[in-house]
Amino acid sequence: MEVTRDDYEKDDSKLLKDIVEAIKTAQFVAIDLEFSGVQRKTNVLGRKQNIRERYLQLKEGAEKYQVLQFGICTVQYDETEATYICRPYTFPLCPVTDPKWQMEREYTYQSSAIKFLSDNHFDFNLLFSSGVRYLSHEEEKYVRDKEEKAIGGIMEDIHIEESQEEFLKSVVNELQAWIDDPNPEYDFINITGPNNEINGYQKRLVHQVVRAKFPELVTMSRSKFIQVIKRDDEQEATVLKERKERSDYNIKKGIGLRYVFDALKERKVPIVGHNLFGDLIHLYRTFVGALPPTVEDFAAKIHEDFPVVCDTKYIATCEGHQSGAASNLQTLSDTLNALLYPSISLHLDHQMGANVDHNAGYDSFVTAKVLLKLITSYQSRLGEGKEPAAEKKAREGMVEFINLMGQYDPAHSDQAAAQGDELLLPPFDSRVWNGLKNRLRVNGTEECVVVLDTIDEDGGVKLLL
């Protein structure tokens, strides 16, 4: 399901509530992102990068390139139908914020990324015409602070140029004469400049001089003049309340897609992705704010927000050697399609059309299927073995199975078709997940993996490198 701005932001729309409810009831949520570019690996003379260096490289990429699409797929087992119901959503992200906030975002595109996405039918115009808006937590704070100052009339004084001193003197005299007039013609006065023309700078000066010299007056900016009226505290309170309500409404609209991210975080739902390390970095930058300076700090924050994460890239390569091609998402999906169990179904409202390759929602659905079938395959090999070596042996068997299946047509394998018969996804706190969850594959580095759930002596997360 592709979610556009009109679907998402309607005041009477149930869509966001439905998405949040799907997250709350999900056993896990698979995610995928599409980017405007990918940071190239930095060459290190004579050796591979280490994890700390790779994090800084990916951090730089997340600060330069943007998330164009955010895909999630909620997964819930339906006991009546004996199948896993998948609900994939694709969210195009709109880069433009409310013009009143004057908060520009700089967008950077990598030519090769544009070509790749274009070749896969990506609609760049959709981002601007119908993309869902968003504010990170950091951006929301900036906007709220700015709005609070504007609503409260808190403006910094600006320098008064010598050429404007005579203009301001005439403004003060005009206002004082209006105040002193016992029977003014109107209950307001309009202030403009020479020849009935006033620019933005002069408007700021009028606001400034009235604040300083006439606190009993209120200024209101108009297109060609500043209107000044006498302060009415009751009316001011009403106007202030209306402004705050309007501002809060606009900010809530602007937060937009971040509500989905916040629901994932608040629910602490297990997060599943393929090659997840980079996606988590981009998610943090997009919906939280500035990235932590070190990989250790980043890992601690991610583990706090998402206590369970599963990287299907890591699970598929957890033991033994496997080529990069054999462990990419689509190849894994094609390989594992031979497994008949568990049953996996798309919800009727989430059917996919044509040209869905490299669509974030579709790829999140594929990731969900891969996890279900990987773990089913692993469980079928783990059996009832209790000895410590059983888990390692089962992981080796699963990886060997994936490698072998990639060498011939899996549709002809009776053994593959029987794998996982009647096995279901185990709870994430069961022994099945030992050594599989909270491991992120980072190929091309010395360590190759980040482990998120090791506890140090002080009870905090210690990153294993």
Ordered by start, the domain boundaries in the chain are 5-134+256-464, 151-250
Q: How confident is the model at residue 411 (pLDDT cuts 50, 70, 90)?
A: very low
Whether residue 418 is predicted with pLDDT greater than 50 in this model: the reply is no
Question: Do the bridges between strand 83-92 and strand 344-346 make them parallel or antiparallel, or are there none, so unpaired?
Answer: parallel
Q: Report pTM.
A: 0.83
Q: What is the mean pLDDT of residues 118-130?
A: 89
Distances from the Cα of 146 to the Cαs of 150, 155, 190, in angstroms?
A: 6, 10, 27
CB under 8 Å, gap of 24 or more: what pairs does 119-125 form?
Answer: 120/355, 120/357, 120/358, 120/359, 121/355, 122/34, 122/68, 122/69, 122/358, 123/92, 124/68
Alpha-carbon gap, residue 435 to 176, rounded angstroms = 78
Half-sphere exposure at residue 384, Cβ-oriented, CA atoms within 13 angstroms: 0
Q: Mean of the pLDDT values across residues 276-296?
A: 96
Q: Is the pLDDT of residue 62 over 60?
A: yes
Q: Which of 282, 260, 252, 2 is nearest to 130 (CA)?
A: 2
368-394 pLDDT per residue, tens? 999 999 998 888 887 655 666 788 888
Q: Do 255 and 135 meet the contact criterion of CB atoms below 8 Å apart?
A: yes
In sequence order, the 6+-apart residues with CB closer than 8 A to the CB of 423 are 341, 342, 376, 379, 380
Domain at 5-134+256-464, CATH homologous superfamily: Ribonuclease H-like superfamily/Ribonuclease H (3.30.420.10)
> So what's the pLDDT on residue 455?
45
Domain 151-250 in this protein, CATH class: alpha beta
pLDDT at residue number 378:
87
Residue pLDDT, tens place only, 146-180: 888 887 767 778 999 999 999 999 999 999 999 99
Contact 136, 67 (CB under 8 A): no
In which band, very low, low, confident or very high, does the pLDDT at 307 lie, cut at 50, 70 and 90?
Answer: very high
Tokens 């106007």 locate to 239
Output the pLDDT for position 407: 58
Rounded CA-CA distance 255/143 in Å is: 11
The yes-or-no verdict on residue 413 having pLDDT over 50 is no
Which range, 117-131, 291-305, 397-411, 413-427, has the best average confidence (pLDDT)? 291-305
Which range (196-210, 237-251, 272-286, 447-461) has the least confidence? 447-461
Question: Tokens 């009143």 belong to which residue?
Answer: 100
pLDDT in tens, 357-371: 679 999 999 999 999
CB 333 within 8 A of CB 374: no
Residues 16, 140: contact at Cβ < 8 Å?
no
For 394, list phi and psi in degrees, rounded to 5. -65, -40
Q: d(Cα 119, Cα 122) in Å, to the nearest integer?
A: 7
| Nearest alpha carbon to residue 312 among 295, 298, 327, 326 | 327
Model pLDDT, residue 321:
56
Categorize the per-residue pLDDT at 414 as very low, low, confident or very high, splitting at 50, 70 and 90.
very low
